[in-house]
Structure 1
Amino acid sequence: MLTSNGYVLDEAANRLGPLVAVPDWEVRDRVTLRERLRRDGYLYLRGLLDREEVLAFRRYYFERTGGTVDRAGFRKVLFGEIVPGPEYAAFCTQPALREWFAWFLGGETFLHKRKIIRQTAPGENGIGTATQAHYDLVYLREGTDRVLSAWIPLGDCPVELGGLVYLEGSHHRVLREEAEGRLKRPAASITADLPGLADEYDARWLAADYAAGDVVIHTAHTVHAALDNVDPTGTLRLSTDIRYQRADAPTDPRWQSDWHDRDGL
């Protein structure tokens, strides 16, 4: 049973389906990938990153945070050491990421400094725990709408660990509503009620069993959310989401400082 913020997803065939990975024969075809992104709103790239590098960063993260026994100590390590640290910066700019975006976007790239790490433990549920349904543009209004997000599971992430799910075809409706001027201001999530939103859009939530090394690229208009972590072995779900765009496009100045959960964005 899949849940998000305590809501049980409808697993009927018209409400839940698989997130489809880019097939091997398309991975180096930029024209086809761009068309796939326009059509689907996401690119699920299996094994884009070196698995061992991903697992090494996961070990580094838990080595730094594992000894913190209180919330204040954890926050001090996360926001004072890991987020602004050279290890995280190197991970987010590793050649496999930086060069892929330069190739796909066809020019010099820019990585937003505000990069987010999310940790979710089994049993953490209820409203506000899992990332609610939203599309990224509502938080990035002051730059280009062609910014691309990369969601990276930091370790193997089967569905029971609470990975991201995407609302199929949602970016087409969002693009229409944006063109009509129905902008969400101030920035806000759409809802925590994923099954209700699927009914409203008459669409499926798309899920996958992710592996360390996988990356999902999605547009700023694609509706997505996170599942609850219900892993029976007690494994923590760890992930990061970062944003690349072309360097010659406008950037949102609010996203050029290190992430902090009290930064108001």
Structure 2
Amino acid sequence: MITSNGYTLDEAPARLGALQPVPDSERGDKDALWSRMRRDGYLYLKNQIDPELVRAFREYYFTKMAETGLVERGSDMREAVGTQVAIDRALLRSILFGDIVPGSEYESLTSHPSIKGWFEWFLGDDVHLHKRKIIRHTRPGEAGIGTATQAHYDLVYLRGGTDKVLAMWIPLGDCPVDMGGLTYLEGSHHPVMADERNGVLRAAEWITADLPKLAEKYDSRWLVADYEAGDVVVHSSHIIHAGTDNVDSQDRLRLSTDIRYQRASEPIDWRWQEHWHDQDGL
């Protein structure tokens, strides 16, 4: 059973499917990748980043967070088994926004040649990485509104620059479906782009936690995957996506980051050029 914010996804074949990875035969074919991106709205790239780089950052993150009570005492920080006790949220915020987010380790990961170099190749230009980069952990067993990322498309938050921004979602460690990875509403970028062309500009209030209702509205499927360390998904700013709940039987914490690249020559949304903070108003 897959849930998001407490809502149970319909697992009928017409409402749930599998995210399709880019085949090896297309990985170096830019034209094929752009054709796939226009058709699907996403590129699921298996093993794009060295898995050891990802696991090392996961270890760094949860080692930094250990004193908050987030991780089970004695836990392997690469596994990061979560606790069910109250955590020191003030300390967590201090470490996250004061240390990890602006830190060199996070910057090195998100601008690594296997990421930045790929965007330079794919976009065929100098690229700009938005400084506002988001990193999230999800505790096992959390449910209810607000515990997982609600359904939205990125352009809702990126009105001040080009609409040709590409996001990369990176699971920081293995993330099978039970751990609550990202899910995409199949083909939803096509009606969203049509709405945008017709002047139907959604606001932040448009986001919803009711994924089953949204699948019915668009007569579409939510696509899920058993992500592995090193995998990434690159998606358009128009495709609807959301997070699912972490119900991992081993009580591991889900960790992921989403970052955004664009051509440096395109207009840039200035609001995204400061480090992420939960009080930044976006």
TM-score bracket for this pair, using the shorter chain length: over 0.9
Distance 1:75 1:257 in 2: 17
Match for residue 243 of structure 2 among 226, 233, 240: 226
The Cα of 1:154 is off from its aligned counterpart by: 0.2
Number of aligned residue pairs? 264
Do the aligned partners of 1:138 and 1:188 also contact (CA within 8 Å) in 2? no
Give the aligned partner of residue 178 of structure 1: 196
Distance 1:189 1:60 in 2: 35
Match for residue 155 of structure 1 among 135, 150, 173: 173
Task: Work out the percentage of aligned pairs sharing the same amino acid.
Answer: 64
User: Aligned letter for 2:274?
Assistant: S
List structure 1 segments (4+ residues) > 4 angstroms apart after TM superposition.
none
Distance 1:46 1:92 in 2: 17
The Cα of 1:188 is off from its aligned counterpart by: 3.2
- Tell me if 1:75 matches 2:93: yes
Higher alpha-carbon deviation: 153-162 or 188-197? 188-197
Distance 1:83 1:37 in 2: 29
Give the aligned partner of residue 57 of structure 1: 57
Match for residue 214 of structure 2 among 191, 197, 216: 197
The Cα of 1:5 is off from its aligned counterpart by: 0.5
Matches within 5 A, 1:108-147: 108-147=126-165
Match for residue 88 of structure 1 among 96, 106, 122: 106
Distance 1:130 1:76 in 2: 22
Q: Structure 2: give runs of 5+ residues left out of the alignment.
A: 70-87
Do the aligned partners of 1:132 and 1:189 also contact (CA within 8 Å) in 2? no
Deviations for 1:65-87, whole angstroms, at most 9, x for unmatched residues?
A: 11124111111010000000001
The Cα of 1:123 is off from its aligned counterpart by: 1.2
**DSSP 3-state at the match of 2:260:** strand
Give the aligned partner of residue 169 of structure 1: 187
The normalised TM-score by structure 1 is 0.99
Deviations for 1:96-120, whole angstroms, at most 9, x for unmatched residues?
A: 0010000000010000000000100
User: Aligned letter for 1:87?
Assistant: E
The Cα of 1:125 is off from its aligned counterpart by: 0.7
Give the aligned partner of residue 25 of structure 2: 25
User: Aligned letter for 1:130?
Assistant: A
Give the aligned partner of residue 258 of structure 2: 241
The Cα of 1:189 is off from its aligned counterpart by: 4.4
Give the aligned partner of residue 226 of structure 2: 209
User: Aligned letter for 2:167?
Assistant: S
Distance 1:21 1:252 in 2: 30
- Tell me if 1:2 matches 2:2: yes
The Cα of 1:128 is off from its aligned counterpart by: 1.0
Distance 1:135 1:88 in 2: 24
